[in-house]
Amino acid sequence: MSGSEIRRAFLRRAFRGFPWGIALVYLAFVLGNAFAVPRPQGGSLLVVSENMAEAYGSPVTAALVQMLWSGLLGAALSTMEVPFLLERRTLPWSGAHFLGTAAAFSLAGWRCRWFPMWESWLALLGLLLLCYVLKWSVRFLEWQADIRAIRKSSGLDTAEPPWKSLVPYLLLAAAVELLLPPGLRLVDARDFPLLTGIFYPFLVLPLFCFFSGCSLGTRLRRWWLLYPAACASLTLPCVLGLYNYTALFQAWTAGVAALAGGLTGTALRRLKKRE
């Protein structure tokens, strides 16, 4: 794709993303109102934060400013896939795009007073990074599968360095286990942390580790055994930083789930080979 085609694709997506950004931020406020405890006074719907309305002197001006910033954020987010249109240096451009989006997000959050605490800003940035890493890893695994199929069909040796298959999985595990818990903590209830207390450790973590381990087990021999150990170790920073020692069960939950997934993947690979 030529430079001008990429520029056109970028602008087209950015224009399309602008109204989506506005809609998304207003939806977040509407949902925030719906689940707010205690309910806002007078039952009115807050579409900007009280701090922002105060800073801009009028809720209408504040809403217009927020509209502009959320539109810009939507435009930045909707161009997330543009680096994938490039044939070379996709990864550095993707990284640069993340930095740009993170800057737009931080500026929008600062101007619109979205983050009362810096921790909430950091946690949301972590979730944004998670989205980028997920997108990149999924795309990379798709490309890898294509290359493997072409190599096989062309009679070329299909064996590739094992670390090359392992890296996207490790990145994915790092993103999920290091970035997701702080993000969930941000939106979790203070009195009963359902998301970080039950949803993440008992559902997301074991399912993610099992299925990613299974996928790796179908592709790698022996080397996949490193993955359960990595999954278990990667839980530790969040266990020690966000939870406490009572959450150490997450390490073996992740390890055992990844091990079970890897064994299932190995069995599937052997079955397929026999067929």
* Residues of this chain that bind other proteins (CB under 8 A): 1, 84, 87-92, 139-140, 143-144, 146-147, 149-151, 153-154, 156, 160, 164, 167
Comparison of 78 and 165: residue with beta carbon closer to other proteins: 165
Comparison of 41 and 154: residue with beta carbon closer to other proteins: 154
Q: CB of residue 146 vs other proteins: minimum separation in angstroms?
A: 5
Comparison of 80 and 184: residue with beta carbon closer to other proteins: 80
Comparison of 150 and 229: residue with beta carbon closer to other proteins: 150
Q: CB of residue 81 vs other proteins: minimum separation in angstroms?
A: 13
Q: CB of residue 132 vs other proteins: minimum separation in angstroms?
A: 14
Comparison of 121 and 140: residue with beta carbon closer to other proteins: 140
Residue 110's CB: how many other CB atoms inside 10 A? 12
Q: CB of residue 127 vs other proteins: minimum separation in angstroms?
A: 23
Q: CB of residue 4 vs other proteins: minimum separation in angstroms?
A: 14
